[in-house]
Amino acid sequence: MTAIADLLDWAPERLDAAQHTTTAIEQLPPGISADDAYTIQHAIIARRLGRGERLAGLKLGFTSKAKMAQMGVSDVIVGQLTDVTRIPDGGDVSLGRFIHPRVEPEIAYRLAVDIDLDDPAADLAACTDAVAPALEIIDSRYRDFQFSLLDVIADNASAAAFVVGPWQPSGADFGNRGVRLTVDGAAVEIGSTAAILGHPARALPALLAMARRHGMPLRAGHVILAGAATAAVPFGAGMVEVHVAGLGMASVRGVQ
């Protein structure tokens, strides 16, 4: 086996085990391509689906300058969400599920219909029927939350858990709405939905292009996370809320 074939073989198992044993691992050795990194991501998701998890949607990463600067990368990436990682709005989540979790404010879109990735006329924006404030808990499986772009793609874009607030009809323009992230009532990050690619709705065609390229299904009811509008903050014991002007709020409580 070549070194890359060998890596494609062991990396999914190691990253998957890192997640469910909550033990950080070393970053991947250099030499893989972006397509290799997505192959590793797909193999991790296949293992999880094999254990009974179901796909719940897709997430974009690094759609804001704040996130790119925080993590030192500069390319939009995509990761996959599963049902077991969705926390009910206002719910508790045990910190024992994570290695070194962080939380960030997101905008979520809901898909109304299945998307045919082979249809060149597919229009994701026209196929969403609702939008909501959301929170994403990210948790790199790599030591010290350090990674290259390819490492983080392989690690399913650090996806760990997500919370979606009450859905609103997607008719209104959510292009430049204030975003506030609070921990136990204190504001820790303030931003605007405009930080997400200039307008969060731009996440939808960007996501469709990536879903096509990497063969990621988009089905009715799936949630699309457009990417964080601000930097992420550590997620510990306490109540975290995201407030988006005119859209509402979502919350999650970290418990020991």
What are the residues facing 55 on neighbouring strands?
Answer: 82
Strand segments (E) across 184-247: 186-192, 223-225, 233-234, 238-244
State the nearest-atom distance from the C-beta of 227 to ligand OOG, in Å. Answer: 4
The residue among 126 and 209 lying less far from ligand OOG, judged by its C-beta, is 209
Radius of gyration for the alpha carbons in the chain, expressed in angstroms and rounded:
17
Site for Mg ion in 132-151 (CB under 5 A): 136
The residue among 59 and 97 lying less far from ligand OOG, judged by its C-beta, is 59
Instruction: Write out the two tokens for 244.
Output: 């988006």
Instruction: Write out the two tokens for 16.
Output: 């998957």
Closest-approach residue to ligand OOG (CB): 61
Site for Mg ion in 80-139 (CB under 5 A): 136
The residue among 74 and 114 lying less far from ligand OOG, judged by its C-beta, is 74
Alpha helices in the chain (DSSP H): 3-21, 34-50, 65-71, 149-154, 203-214
The binder of 71, among ligand OOG, Mg ion, none, by C-beta within 5 to 8 A per type, is: ligand OOG
Alpha helices in 58-202 (DSSP H): 65-71, 149-154
State the nearest-atom distance from the C-beta of 228 to ligand OOG, in Å. Answer: 4
The residue among 62 and 109 lying less far from ligand OOG, judged by its C-beta, is 62
State the nearest-atom distance from the C-beta of 138 to Mg ion, in Å. Answer: 6
The binder of 158, among ligand OOG, Mg ion, none, by C-beta within 5 to 8 A per type, is: ligand OOG
State the nearest-atom distance from the C-beta of 224 to ligand OOG, in Å. Answer: 12
Our finding on whether 204 is near Mg ion (CB under 5 A) is no
The residue among 227 and 254 lying less far from ligand OOG, judged by its C-beta, is 227
Query: How many other C-beta atoms lie within 10 A of the C-beta of residue 16?
Result: 20
- Cβ-based burial of 88 (10 A; exposed 0-12, middle 13-18, buried ≥19): exposed
Closest-approach residue to Mg ion (CB): 136
Tokens 């390229």 correspond to 213
What are the residues facing 179 on neighbouring strands?
Answer: 191, 244
The residue among 148 and 168 lying less far from ligand OOG, judged by its C-beta, is 148
State the nearest-atom distance from the C-beta of 22 to Mg ion, in Å. Answer: 20
Residue 223 is which amino acid? V
Distance (Å, whole) CA 58 – CA 80: 5
Site for Mg ion in 227-246 (CB under 5 A): 228
Question: Footprint of Mg ion on this chain (CB under 5 A)?
Answer: 136, 228
